Each structure stands twice: as C-alpha cells, then as structure tokens.
Structure 1
Amino acid sequence: MNGLCWGIEAGFSGLVFGVDEVGRGPLAGPVMAAAACLCAESVPEGLGDSKSVPRKRRESIAASLQYVAVAEASVEEIDRLNILRASHLAMVRAVAALAARMGPPAMVLVDGNMLPGFDFPARAIVKGDATVASIAAAAVAAKVARDRRMGELDHGHPGYGWRTNMGYGTAEHLAGLSRLGPNLHHRRSFAPISKLLN
C-alpha cells in the first residue's frame, strides 16, 4: 500500500483493520460483518458509534470508505453453527477479503471481548465501535449493507416489516409471524421461530 493506508490507532505500525458485525439479535436475515482500514487523512466526517449515527450519514460514510470489505454468514449457517460462531465466521470472511486486496494486516482490532480465529494478530476491544475509528467505520459499513439486504428481503417477503425493523422481533414483525408464519429467511434456531415451528 506504499504506506498510504496504515492504521491510525496509536501503538500500531503497519496495516490495521477494524472489524465489527451487525445482526446477531434479529429473528431473520444473515449476520454481516465488515473489515475497514482507514487513512489518517481520510477519516470520514461524523464517524462514530453506528447506533448513534443517523441513517443518511451512515450511508454517506459507507460510500466514502475506500478500503472496506463486507461479508456475511447465512441463516443456514446461523442455525447450524449458532449465532456467535456464525458472526465470527462473517468476521473472518471480511478480514480475508480485505487482506486479499490490501495485503496482510499487522493487527486486527475487533469490537467486543472475544476473538474469531483469524490468520493474523488480533486484539478484542470492548466498546471498540465507540472508541476506535477503524472499528466504527466497519460497524457503519456492515450496518448499511445489512439494512439494504433486509430492505431487499422485505420486497420479496412483505408483511413482516423488515424494511423498518431489520428482522428484529418488534411487535410488527411478531404480528407478521403470527399471520404468515416463518419463511426461509427466519432463523429456526431462535426461540420465537422454533416455538412457531413446533
């Protein structure tokens, strides 16, 4: 990378990837993760914890990211592996995709207190999405990608309100489940869905 996109977090030299996932709690849809690498001169304006950044700003930030990769684990993988292992799988895929573009990172910084099995040095940082710029960027990218995916799924499967609830177990979603039953995008290993199926 000719030194153009080295990690900006203090204490590290070499490429630093920030990683975060979204979508562990919903009853439907994939879990998605992103890996991001920021240049010191190109940290997006307004970057912060993705949960507190307005939607339009998130979309603008995601579009401005030059070095980012998004990956997912499917509903089938969530049901087979469990949601924690599936979210780690999505993280590993995102990091591998970004490393294929940029080269191996010197450090991978992950939001949370657990580490997936990366092939690179890694460190877990609790509340990293609120304190580490590259993790915050990854969180924004993953959220924007997953929100878009749920909007697409809502178009094909109306009645659950996925365009607005993103697959979470809101009153609107639960009413849709009661009326329509689960479909192929619902996580059968999650209690509200398994109870309906049984």
Structure 2
Amino acid sequence: MPPDFFHERQHAHPVAGVDEAGRGPLAGPVVAAAVVLDRKRVPRGLDDSKKLDEAAREQAYARITRHAAWAVGIAEVDEIDRLNIYHATLLAMTRAVDALGLDPSMVLVDGNALPKWRYAARAIIAGDALCRSIAAASIIAKVTRDRLMADYDATHPGYGWCRNKGYGTPEHKAALARLGPSPLHRRSFAPVAQLCLL
C-alpha cells in the first residue's frame, strides 16, 4: 500500500511531514526536509524514497517542488562531529521546519524521536511508507543530499561519492585507506576516526 493522508487528516491544515537523509554515511552532511502538501494537488509517485529508483525520485522531486511548500535543513560535518549524528539530525529537522516560512499545526516526523522545538509534533515509525507528507519529505531530503554528494565528488575526487553518496561501501573504504580523510569525512565515525589515529 502506498502512503496516504490518514495521519494528516487528524489535524488542521497545514501539516508538515519531515524526514532526513544521510545519517549513516562516513562523509557529507545530514539533510532534512519539511513538506506541506496541497491535498487538492497531490504529486504523483509519492512513496518512501528508498522504494524509488533515482529517475523516479527525480521526477517526484520536480512535482513536489512545483506543487508543495517545502524547505530543507542541513547539519554540516563539523556539527555532526561536535553534536553526534543523532543531535545533528534533530538540528537539521528543526532548520527545515523553521525554513518553511509558515507555522504548521502539526509536524509529522519519520522515526521515533522528536526535536525539542516549538511545534506540535508526532513521531511515526516507518512514516515515510505510511504518510504522504513524510514520503514527500524523504524524497526531497534524499535528492538534495545525493546532488550535494555529486557536487562534492567533483571537488574531492577519488572517493566515488557520485556513486556511493558517502556511505561506507568497499569502494569508499578502500579510497579512504588510500587517500586518507577529506575535510568532508566525519571524524566521529569509527572507520574515519581509526585512520585519523594512524
């Protein structure tokens, strides 16, 4: 079953969905997105971003950005290393909702944790597969981060970020061992931290 509007309908409009991309990689920022859908103009192709291939995500991204209110929030690598990935993710989520330019009556967040913010909010486990607004946010966050990592691949070549997006693939780990950490590697993550001690 694709995601639906069941959770949004429990609250007055506008309801924002929030999700993130990039908690697990060894390099690059964590990106969160907040999306408020127009329930009369719902973009086609909304689903958990992990269930869509790159072409489908790009098409959905174009539709969402044309027909919805949306914003992204980013926590950079230095913030991830200083705060830890959990708190940096919550910071990115807060920045995304703050950047919407409107006050949602409710924020529906994928997962089981909520930032300490001024918004009424609910955490929904597997929300990106259940809730259309969160699914839309998952697509915006994923496409935004993938594009950032492709740009970083051009300025920090050799790690294969245009393919692995900073995740700890064998290709990335081999390059990390060969080239050493870049400024965009998360030094608080064990595989990077171990190299920094050598």
Bucket of the pairwise TM-score, normalised by the shorter protein? over 0.9
Q: Counterpart of 2:3?
A: none
Identical counterparts, % of pairs: 56
**Runs of 5+ in structure 1 lacking a partner?**
1-6
Q: Counterpart of 1:63?
A: 62
**Runs of 5+ in structure 2 lacking a partner?**
1-5
Question: Deviation of residue 45 (structure 1)?
Answer: 1.1
Q: Counterpart of 1:3?
A: none
Question: Deviation of residue 8 (structure 1)?
Answer: 7.6
Per-residue CA deviations over 1:11-33 (Å, capped at 9, x if unaligned) read 11121000001100000000000
Q: Secondary structure at the match of 1:130?
A: helix
Q: Distance in 2 between matches of 1:148 and 1:109?
A: 25
Aligned pairs (5 A) from 1:81-96: 81-96=83-98
RMSD: 1.4
Normalised TM-score (structure 1): 0.93
Of 79, 82, 92, 1:80 maps to 82
Q: Secondary structure at the match of 2:49?
A: coil
Q: Secondary structure at the match of 2:81?
A: helix
Say how many residue pairs are matched: 190
- Please say which of residues 11-20 and 126-135 is displaced more in the overlay: 11-20
Contact 1:18 1:135 in 2 (8 A): yes
Q: Counterpart of 1:4?
A: none
Letter in 2 for 1:85: H
Aligned pairs (5 A) from 1:45-194: 45-65=44-64, 66-98=68-100, 100=101, 103-194=102-193
Per-residue CA deviations over 1:90-119 (Å, capped at 9, x if unaligned) read 000000001x2xx21100000001101121
Structure 1 ranges of 4+ moved more than 6 A: none
Contact 1:28 1:167 in 2 (8 A): yes
Letter in 1 for 2:13: G
